[in-house]
Structure 1
Amino acid sequence: MTSVITVEKEKLDNPPLDIHVLGDRVLRQPAKRIAKVDDSVRQLAKEMLQTMYSSHGIGLAAPQVAIHKQLIVIDCEPDNPANPPLILINPKITRVSQELCVVEEGCLSIPGVYLDVTRPKTIEVSFKDEQGKPRKIQATDLLARVIQHEMDHLNGVMFVDRVDNDLALTEKLQEKGFSRGAVKPIK
């Protein structure tokens, strides 16, 4: 599965898009399905990749750049030029494993905050690629986690909403200057 969208995996001084941070209302609005995959969607994906690489991220969802479309870009190997990024349009998780795992997560929209989150270890996801072709992949470990994390953004959910350790959550957010009130716990 090779991407038709190619961008240099480098940090730009002026990335094309601004990443919004925890507390900004745009992050809480659900994204809309993309009706037609066209050049404007591919251009958005390209700019999202440039912005993600510029911020040393491995995943970025359109709502993080204040665009309410179901578009996610992912690259679990940003230092490997041979590894193409993954572009998921209108992604839908079709299966999740019973096996859960707890791993520390961070988010470009909550810089400097890293906390443990429990998620299914393996998922199956269907989506359209940047050519508009239907795809289905099985993802495990880091890729599964990044897809789930970014898909949460499409529903207005932030990873801190899923953190079980309330004390660590409050401490980390305060330490980095974020409001505990911006968290909307999912139980």
Structure 2
Amino acid sequence: MRNRPIPGSSGHVRAMTLLGAPVLHTPCEPVVDFGPELERLVEDMFATMYAANGVGLAANQVGVGLRVFVYDCPDDEEVRHLGHLVNPRLVEADGEVVRGAEGCLSLPGLEAPTPRFDRAVVEGVRVDGTPVRVEGTGFFARCLQHETDHLEGGVYADRVTGWRKSRLLRAVRKEPWGDRAEVLQDR
């Protein structure tokens, strides 16, 4: 087995895109150019995710409107899942719907109980074009659904309803970037 560098170890931390930025609320474009620029993007995304103490990060969260996300996320049995997906598609989401605490690096410091299926399957390719199928359960399934939502132009707050959404909107308005709360109200 060859030694591989730790993902993100040669990457640069990019600025995080916050709620309200148009790129965060627009469906991402498929990747068509595979090569050094894509590899650099993935490496930078890992570095950015780790610097922000996240478990997943979509390209539009660093201002790039491409269908790419990275993850380093445990499941409910504390098994670590580490990787990236290019042009991912959520092909299955089933099982029980669990309303669990969910946060987002683009809504820093906030979280809300968000309903998600406890099993998810995502298919896509790696940076070299190799096909991949990733299956997750529990918290990792939540991560897979969360990141694919980003690539469709959504944030977890779009899935929050009722009084929970009202409470989240009040918390957003208290943040320095809270003037962007109207984005959530329109969805």
> Is TM-score (shorter-chain normalized) higher than 0.5?
yes
Does the alignment pair 1:89 with 2:86? yes
User: How far did residue 167 of structure 1 move?
Assistant: 2.6
Separation in structure 2 between the aligned mates of residue 172 and residue 126 of structure 1, nearest angstrom: 35
Contact persistence 1:3–1:130 (CA under 8 A): no
Letter in 2 for 1:95: E
Structure 2 residue corresponding to 1:128, chosen from 118, 125, 130: 125
Equivalent positions of 1:141-152 (< 5 A) are 141-152=138-149
Residue of structure 2 in register with 1:7 after alignment? 7
Contact persistence 2:157–2:165 (CA under 8 A): no
Separation in structure 1 between the aligned mates of residue 37 and residue 84 of structure 2, nearest angstrom: 14
Q: Give the structure-2-normalised TM-score.
A: 0.84
Letter in 1 for 2:137: T
Separation in structure 2 between the aligned mates of residue 156 and residue 137 of structure 1, nearest angstrom: 21
Residue of structure 2 in register with 1:45 after alignment? 42
Residue of structure 2 in register with 1:18 after alignment? 15
What is the identity percentage for the equivalent residue pairs of Structure 1 and Structure 2?
28
Residue of structure 1 in register with 2:182 after alignment? 181
Q: Return 106-115 or 177-186, whichever deviates more.
A: 177-186
User: How far did residue 107 of structure 1 move?
Assistant: 0.7
CA pair 160-17 structure 1, distance change in 2 beyond 3 A: same
5+ long unaligned stretches in structure 1: 78-82
CA distances 1:127-180 after superposition (whole Å, capped 9, x unpaired): 102321111121111111111111111111011111112332222212324133
Equivalent positions of 1:61-100 (< 5 A) are 61-76=58-73, 85-100=82-97
User: How far did residue 104 of structure 1 move?
Assistant: 0.7
Contact persistence 2:69–2:86 (CA under 8 A): yes
User: How far did residue 185 of structure 1 move?
Assistant: 6.0
Residue of structure 2 in register with 1:105 after alignment? 102
Contact persistence 1:70–1:154 (CA under 8 A): yes
Residue of structure 2 in register with 1:157 after alignment? 154
Residue of structure 2 in register with 1:170 after alignment? 169
CA distances 1:36-73 after superposition (whole Å, capped 9, x unpaired): 43222111100010011111111110011111110001
Does the alignment pair 1:58 with 2:55? yes
CA pair 63-119 structure 1, distance change in 2 beyond 3 A: same
SS at 1:57 equivalent? coil
5+ long unaligned stretches in structure 2: 75-79
Separation in structure 1 between the aligned mates of residue 85 and residue 119 of structure 2, nearest angstrom: 17
Separation in structure 2 between the aligned mates of residue 4 and residue 143 of structure 1, nearest angstrom: 23
Separation in structure 1 between the aligned mates of residue 102 and residue 57 of structure 2, nearest angstrom: 13
- Superposition CA RMSD, Å: 2.5
Letter in 2 for 1:7: P
Separation in structure 2 between the aligned mates of residue 169 and residue 120 of structure 1, nearest angstrom: 21
Letter in 2 for 1:146: C
Which structure has the highest strand share of the two?
A: 2
Separation in structure 1 between the aligned mates of residue 136 and residue 3 of structure 2, nearest angstrom: 17
User: What is the aligned residue count?
Assistant: 177
